Amino acid sequence: MTYKLLIVDDSKLARMAVVKALNSCYPEWQRIEAGNAEDALSAMQQEVPDIALVDFNMPVRDGLTLAADLRKLSPQMPIGIISANHQQEVIDRAKGLGATFLPKPLAEKALREFLTTASRVLQSAAP
């Protein structure tokens, strides 16, 4: 089963790191990249992703605000919040949205675990 992953980060370098890790875990998965929250939401109107990976520290609208919007649009979608800002409040806010906190720099192992768990959740929810 392959899935479509939405990657939102204002840093191109950070998106490259996610893509590199994704290619070594699940190379056949599709990806949609966005550089900010607004682009992510318009991309959502074109094609709906199965899983989202969102950077926290972004200009205009931060990743937790975007995650709350994504949650409204797609209540069951697994969401990962990526940040080097591992303050407890940020982690708690991610948990409060039903999202998983993933520390930056993103380790391939952490991404693999998140995506494997996410695909299990999606498979069990599938009709």
- Among residues 46, 72, 89, 127, the one that binds another protein under rule CB under 8 A: 89
Q: Does 59 bind another protein (CB under 8 A)?
A: yes
Among 50, 83, 100, 102, binds another protein (CB under 8 A): 83
Using DSSP's 3-state secondary structure scheme, residue 35 falls into coil
Residue 108 CA to residue 85 CA, distance in Å, equals 18
- Among the listed residues 5, 40, 90, 94, the single contact to another protein using CB under 8 A: 90
Would you say 104 and 84 are in contact if contact means Cβ atoms under 8 Å apart? yes
Q: What is the contact mask toward another protein in residues 20 to 39, using x (rule: CB under 8 A)? A: --------------------
Which residues is 101 bridged to in the sheet? Answer: 81
Minimum CB–partner distance for residue 74 and another protein (Å): 27
Residue 26's alpha-carbon distances to 38, 83, 87, 94, 126, in angstroms, are: 27, 22, 30, 24, 20
- Tell me how far apart the alpha carbons of residues 16 and 22 are, in angstroms, rounded to a whole number: 10
Buried b (16+ CB within 10 A) or exposed e, 49-71: bbbbbbbbbbeeebbbbbbeebb
Query: Is position 109 an interface residue for another protein (rule: CB under 8 A)?
Result: no
Pick the piece of the chain touching another protein (CB under 8 A) from 5-13, 26-34, 63-71, 109-117: 5-13
Nearer to another protein, 70 or 90 (CB): 90
Note the residues at the interface with another protein (CB under 8 A): 11-14, 16, 57-59, 83-90, 104-105, 107
